[in-house]
Structure 1
């Protein structure tokens, strides 16, 4: 099919590394660590100004026995093709073995949880990534008093604390070297994050990128060595830095429009979203997003050229919460029937129809019908003579093009009906998102 309606906008060749990732579209984020013990989210130390010594009780009580194969099965059944685990979050407690620190599960528990995670997910054919915090609140050489986020940022006893950024950079680079050297090929590296006073210079971003590209040349990298969820960094400019990354990472939001550079060319992006309102396990947070909402948001991301990284926060025992699994299972049911309209797809160039979303890929158009029509469904943006065929993606059954005297200009417009009488109203075959597969002439 050569119709300009579905011709994808050119992607800058410097983004070739992310081709597989842009095709997979849907991944699992996993925030997990000692903060699952207090069960008030992964920022609990910062929000509640908890000192390092007081946090030790959470570290000592974090003695999980996770079934990583069950995690991987949950991701695979949901239709996710890649997964990213927090190898180390801002609290500094690492889930991997490190020769540079004894503040790790390998030392405390005798278990390298990163190695176990990677083995289980690779065995399921799921591509693997590691999240690594650029912050480390456990280190005495990291900024304390006056920092924007450190738990002791306003503690008077640390007013005279003197950070040693040269020492911290050496440690940071050393641990990044470990995760890039000791675990085989990593498909994604997810650094987090830069902020006022702590950015590329403080991280030693140039040398850090040299290490990453030498050891993991094919890893897809986010933009947070110089940006954050709300800051794209230099990736959209004519002069991106060597550490600008391979994609931007809007957080807890989906962009209103596709993300493009200064010349209007698509820039890869990924919205990272939570299932409730926390990343790490929060026992009291029951504000779950319904599966239909998340299916719509996944399709929205794809229709705008982006990915969705959907988070789970396992508990202190290492179990993904039951409600998380139920939501993911429902998404998986929809993906079983409709994944072809997500994977390998992107914008269709047809705008947003009032009944749902368009995606395009594999030489076809996909109409995601989320609102039932009254009378025939007008395939907004398409003339009848452009359309070769329309089928339900879920079962392959044909939906013939119809005429209707009720539609002005109906004979020239592409329309289908979900029942034998074009003018009648019928329920959608899938009330969440009925996907039509459309071939053009």
Structure 2
């Protein structure tokens, strides 16, 4: 009966969505949706957001957030671990972890204050991952954090706390894969794990049409109940029929008009047209400045996106350098953290967030509300092309003071040259040519009082003399922002 009840709710939601679309301005077709401004000014200005993979998959704390898939793949290391620790996956399925997920240490207000101090301008959770478990009060599925597990509206608590800190909100959706292959190992080798009609909903064992409608209904619930400023999609969105994707976009954009807010849709690959959505690169970045604003989602660790008992955390300089490189190329960073199942953010992750926040306190002027300059940068370290396929190479990149990235103020009157290390001697900016230097021309190091001496040679080459500062007295760590004002500048040919 429970399964039938949820099916009826899905039908009712479908009727509601259809009625709402017929009365609004955006229609569910790409031509109409193209009128949406995919990257509003607040989004272009934001530069940094935080999200987190936190769900039932954090309970076993092993392998990665793909535990619910891999536990059913015979011979996989996660499968061997599951058998050793919990027993036969056919008898101890993924759904058995749900009620073990308790969150006694979770404090939405404390998390929001932490994200704000880090320098994030928007934040929010993975609302639903591939596993099919929703972090909100859902009528579209019984597998949600209010009815099961934590017995809390996690998305609701977070949305309220994040907005109370003056930040925008993001909700990310990975649920397209729930139906498309995530539990094929269970179907093949452990079908007894799917015990009844209710577990069939979690494992997406249903007709395609029913799943597609549930996919849409879940989005409509989050839109109506929490009004997120950004909705972000993981891969496999292209497997959802085009008409459903169009209905989602029209529903969201029409809702946002009633809220009088500019919202953003982010996606990977080519799953939605770029004239109404923003491109995301997973664990990778553009090799050069892009004309359109883009995003990279990357994680604070070197491996899993969710917490595991062996998770290794990146040093802060890697996070800062990736942020600077991204912003110089017209991008925005969505940084993932990995809370423990009980709601605690581990100290090693907190340390990186605190150090990133300290860096942003000094250098935020060179990051927030900036735009790419005529040249994005210079130096010996080159980012690979190829996107996610090269994410391992991105992880290995190590920058130095010889690597420089440029940003500029919106009005173009100020240019920032950011060195990805502390220069031990004078800096000669290879990408900059000074056409003229007015009486008020000056070079400053953010976080350091006074101006710096500089020279301009006959070819317009700008050389900045470094101040004598002891290592312990440097304004920050990781990267250093030199502010150029009063110059007429061009990029070197």
TM-score range, shorter chain: 0.7 to 0.9
The C-alpha deviation readout for 1:226-259, integer Å capped at 9, x for no partner, is xx3xx244645xxx5xxxx421010011121234
Quick check: 1:27 aligned with 2:49? yes
Partners in 1 of 2:189 and 2:217 — Cα distance?
29
Distance 1:381 1:67, change over 3 A: same
Looking at structure 1, the residues matched to 90 and 173 of structure 2 have their Cα atoms a distance apart, in angstroms, of 21
1:430 Cα shift?
4.4
Q: Is the 8 A contact 1:42 1:280 kept in 2?
A: yes
Matches within 5 A, 1:237-386: 245-259=276-290, 266-276=291-301, 277-286=303-312, 288-354=313-379, 355=402, 356-362=404-410, 363-373=413-423, 375-384=425-434, 386=436
Q: Which runs of 5+ in 2 are unaligned?
A: 1-33, 73-88, 193-203, 380-401, 489-493
Preserved contact between residue 176 and residue 240 of structure 2 (Cα < 8 Å)? no
TM-score by length of 2: 0.72
Query: Which has a greater percent of helix?
Result: 2
Q: Distance in 1 between matches of 2:246 and 2:335?
A: 30
Matched, 1:174 2:217: yes
Out of 247, 251, 256, which is 1:207 matched to? 247
**Residues 16 and 124 of structure 1: is their aligned pair in 2 closer, same or farther, counting only changes over 3 Å?**
same
Task: Please give the alpha-carbon distance, in whole angstroms, between the structure 2 residues aligned to 1:154 and 1:94.
Answer: 25
Q: Is the 8 A contact 1:358 1:365 kept in 2?
A: yes
In the superposition, relative to structure 1, how do residues 390 and 14 fare at CA in structure 2: closer, same or farther (>3 Å)?
A: farther
Q: Give the aligned partner of residue 234 of structure 2.
A: 192
Q: Secondary structure at the match of 2:93?
A: helix
CA drift at 1:119: 0.9
* Equivalent residues of 1:418, 1:428 under 8 A apart: no
Q: How many Å apart are 1:291 and its aligned residue?
A: 0.6
Q: How far off its partner does 1:396 sit?
A: 4.5
Deviations 1:180-211 (A, max 9, x none): 1112x321111223267x2444x721222222
**C-alpha distance in 2 between matches for 1:149 and 1:253:** 27
| Structure 1 contact 235–248 (Cα < 8 Å) conserved | no
Give the C-alpha shift of residue 435 in structure 1: 0.7
Query: 260, 263, 269: which is aligned to 1:219?
Result: 263
Indicate how the Cα distance of structure 1 residues 364 and 205 shifts in structure 2: closer, same or farther if over 3 A, else same. same
TM-superposed CA distance for 1:83, in Å, is 0.7
What is the count of residue pairs matched by the alignment?
A: 390
The answer as to whether partners of 1:18 and 1:246 remain within 8 angstroms in 2 is no
Change (3 A) 1:205 1:235: closer
Structure 1, residues 269-305: CA drift from partner, whole Å, max 9, x if none? 110001111111111122x211111111100001100
Supply the distance in 2 between the matched residues of 1:69 and 1:123 (Cα, whole angstroms): 8
Q: Note the residue ranges of structure 1 that are not aligned, 5 or more in a row.
A: 1-11, 260-265, 404-408, 421-426
- Counterpart selection for 1:83 from 120, 123, 146: 123
Match of 1:401 in 2: 454
Aligned to 1:57: 96
**1:336-361 CA distances to partner (integer Å, 9 max, x unpaired)?**
01101111113111242232211112
**TM-score of the aligned structures, taking structure 1 as reference length:** 0.80
Checking the alignment, whether the CA contact within 8 Å between 1:17 and 1:220 is kept in structure 2 is yes
- Secondary structure, counterpart of 2:231 in structure 1: strand
Q: Check whether the contact 1:37–1:58 (CA below 8 A) recurs between aligned residues.
A: yes
* Mapped partners of 2:333, 2:346: distance in 1: 20
- Residues 66-88 of structure 1 show CA distances to partners (whole Å, capped at 9, x for unaligned) of 01112111111111110131111
